[in-house]
Chains A and B, each alone.
Chain A
Amino acid sequence: QVQLVQSGAEVKKPEASVKVSCKASGYTFTGYYINWVRQAPGQGLEWMGWINPDSGGTNYAQKFQGRVTMTTDTSISTAYMELSRLRSDDTAMYYCARDESSSWSRYDSWGQGTLVTVSS
């Protein structure tokens, strides 16, 4: 079965960087885009962008341009999301999600989430 397993919780200081991993199994990793979505405590969902594991192509929300980098290592079916220059308002649960279709986007499988806490 399709499964996405994310790395563990992180605590970072302001201005530091964090790199979250998302290991896929149960399907052909290069066949589906991986999206990243975050959720601040008690708040709604926020789309950050996607990566095409086949080509390495990315599309980032403008809000995160210059601070976010999404990469993949196809040899181990793992996607990564790195966010730099962290601020306190980056404290959130970060999810990776598989896009079942690039033409009618929908996220059919999600990781369990990685809590990133930014605090001095």
Chain B
Amino acid sequence: IQLTQSPSSLSASVGDRVTITCRASQGISSYLVWYQQKPGKAPKLLIYAASTLQSGVPSRFSGSGSGTDFTLTISSLQPEDFATYYCQQVNNYPFTFGPGTKVDIK
């Protein structure tokens, strides 16, 4: 299963609402996970089952979607949110990741 993400990169300001889209090449129900990765660090789990917020993750992060189209939304971008975001499908083997969306400072 191929995953595409859009945009591949975006520039935003603190306080902005940011939406990232992940599209699967075939239906994956809600078996979609979102990770955040900062330079030189391991990825961090944000959301699983498409919309379930991982414990300890700020509520400004939210996920939605099912089937083939998914979104990650950051309601009010904070300085610590500048990072690369990856989606991953865990419905079919091999589990695959999207190519990533880099969020940087405008």
Contact = CB atoms under 8 A, between A and B. Distances in A.
Interface of A: 37, 44-47, 49, 59, 61-63, 95, 97, 100, 104-108, 110-113
B98 A106 contact: no
5 contacts: A45-B97, A97-B43, A104-B49, A106-B54, A107-B45
B79 interface: no
Contacts of B95: 47, 61, 105
Contacts of B37: 45
B99 interface: yes
Interface of B: 31, 33, 35, 37, 42-45, 48-49, 52, 54, 86, 88, 90, 93-100
Given A45-B86, A104-B49, A95 B33 contact: no
A107 to B, nearest CB: 6
Contacts of A113: 42
A106 B90 contact: yes
A83 to B, nearest CB: 16
A81 B16 CA distance: 41
B65 to A, nearest CB: 15
Contacts of A107: 33, 35, 43, 45
A113 B54 CA distance: 22
Contacts of A45: 35, 37, 43, 86, 88, 97, 100
A80 to B, nearest CB: 18
A100 B48 CA distance: 11
A62 B48 contact: no
Closest 6 CB pairs of A and B: A110-B42, A106-B48, A61-B94, A105-B90, A45-B97, A47-B95
Given A106-B54, A108-B54, A44 B48 contact: no
A45 B5 CA distance: 13
Given A47-B94, A61-B95, 13 more contacts: A45-B86, A59-B93, A61-B93, A95-B42, A97-B43, A104-B49, A105-B31, A105-B33, A105-B90, A105-B95, A106-B49, A106-B90, A110-B44
